[in-house]
A = this chain, B = another copy of it.
Amino acid sequence: MFKSKIVKLVVNDVRFPTSLEQHGSDAMHSDPDYSVAYVVVETDADLKGYGLTFTVGRGTEIVVCAVEALSSLVIGKTLEEIVTDFSAFYRLLTSDGQMRWIGPEKGVIHLATAAILNAIWDMWARAESKPLWKLLVDMDPRKLIRCIDFRYITDALTEQEALDILEKAKAGKEEREEQMLKEGYPAYTTSCAWLGYSDEQLSQLCSAALAEGWTRFKVKVGADLQDDIRRCSLIRKMIGPENTLMIDANQRWNVGEAVSWITTLAEFRPLWIEEPTSPDDILGHAAISKALVPLGIGVATGEQCHNRVMFKQFLQASALQFVQIDSCRVGSVNENLAILLMAAKFKVPVCPHAGGVGLCELVQHLILFDYISLSASLNNRMCEYVDHLHEHFRSPTVIKNAHYMPPTDPGFSCEMLDESVQKYGFPHGDVWRSILKQKGSQDNFSE
């Protein structure tokens, strides 16, 4: 399997018209159409790899274009060549002498890198006949750190420190793996309180979630203070004082504004405020974090934190109290390993971002690895869950009693159903042909 040579890379623009029902709406993304740039890597053997990066509609075609540009760096390589010196392959993709200019390691080109590398990791796990989390958990620490590009982070984490963290956490690994297989990893839900939902819809969804055993809930805030007070009050009443509430502003505020707005919402006792301001503003997040200490509210961010260098600084500056890794924003497992190891070193809990399309499927592997092989703790830790669009995947997430149950199928769980890829293909799939025809124009859904 490892001698298989990559001979083809196909990328598809697949969009789901979620904006029609306000799913996923927040203070900065009022009408998202959850989408993916979906990558299939084919070899000269039976082995394939499936990867994706998540987007929210318009602009997906730009990421598709970037995947195509990067594909020449991938085709012709064998799986063995790639994984034997995986950090060199990572560097090849991220430091191409011409393409790095339009990043580097950020935005469109990095989202494209993530989609491709996710497919490579999927392929590797399939070649080993293991789900990705198990591939990582079983991997020799020295091999594992050879997947990481340590450039620009050695002032916070050296290779030796990374090794030490992995070696030290070996104690109790088997027990934790068994525990996960039995109980799963704790999740929280964001499905109840998107910004575009009415109070009635919110109440209904919240009741249903409580009945299903959910105990941790996230509410979108930041567009209108009075609305936020009403909605937070409603949710807090429904879930009671014992359950956990988080709030998420999706980058809506300036630094000063963030502090005063959150102070007003403090009476609802949120565990964290997520993305209070620009995802680039490390010092701003540090100032907000400091101001919120007396209120007992932490700052969470990461879904738009664009690479390990940014996460490094967020940790160095004590600018976050919850690290929200994303499986598609940074350079796939390779870069997330660096981020998880830095979070472990700085003793900050990791609570992954998920939702969208495929993000739950992907990130569950990383957080399982984090618990079993790194953090060894569930204290203040949980993984986001959103109950949408899982039906399009061949191995969808399994949630039991508000916990992610470890995937058992080999791979990274993001292979989509062929039918879904066809039907939701943009703009020529059946679903989009019909929507675009009904709308009579492409105003909101232009290519």
Contact = CB atoms under 8 A, between A and B. Distances in A.
Given A32-B97, A95-B28, A97-B29, A69 B63 contact: no
Contacts of A102: 55, 59, 62-63, 107-108, 111
A436 interface: no
A283 to B, nearest CB: 5
A28 B100 CA distance: 9
Contacts of A30: 97
A97 B254 contact: no
A1 to B, nearest CB: 28
A447 B65 CA distance: 10
Q: Is the interface of A mostly helix, strand, loop or mixed?
A: loop
Nearest to A71: B446
A154 B254 CA distance: 7
Given A55-B102, A284-B152, A307-B280, A66 B254 contact: no
A269 interface: no
A55 B32 CA distance: 30
A316 B281 CA distance: 11
Contact of A280 (B254, B255, B287, B309): B309
Contacts of A306: 106, 280
Contact of A29 (B56, B98, B154, B317): B98
Interface in A294-320: 304, 306-307, 309-310, 312-313, 316-317
A250 to B, nearest CB: 10
B280 A106 contact: yes
A304 to B, nearest CB: 7
A396 interface: no
A33 interface: yes
A389 B283 CA distance: 40
> Which of A55, A103, A105 has most B Cβ within 10 Å?
A103
B97 A28 contact: yes
Contacts of A97: 28-32, 56
A233 to B, nearest CB: 27
A58 interface: yes
A62 B59 contact: no
Interface string A340-382: 0000000000000000000000000000000000000000000
Kindly report how many copies of this chain are found in the complex they form together: 2
> Which of A29, A31, A58, A316 has most B Cβ within 10 Å?
A58
Interface in A20-74: 28-33, 55-59, 61-63, 65-66, 69, 72
Contacts of A33: 98
Interface string A198-223: 00000000000000000000000000
Contacts of A95: 28
A107 to B, nearest CB: 2
A27 B383 CA distance: 41
Given A58-B96, A155-B254, 20 more contacts: A55-B102, A56-B98, A58-B99, A59-B109, A62-B69, A65-B65, A106-B280, A106-B306, A107-B110, A108-B109, A151-B254, A151-B278, A152-B255, A152-B278, A154-B254, A154-B255, A278-B309, A280-B309, A281-B312, A283-B313
22 contacts: A30-B97, A31-B97, A55-B102, A56-B97, A59-B98, A59-B109, A62-B108, A65-B65, A101-B304, A107-B108, A107-B110, A108-B109, A152-B284, A154-B255, A154-B256, A155-B256, A278-B309, A280-B309, A281-B309, A282-B313, A283-B312, A283-B316
Which 7 A-B pairs rank lowest in CB-CB distance, beginning with the nearest?
A107-B107, A108-B108, A57-B98, A58-B98, A59-B99, A152-B278, A155-B255
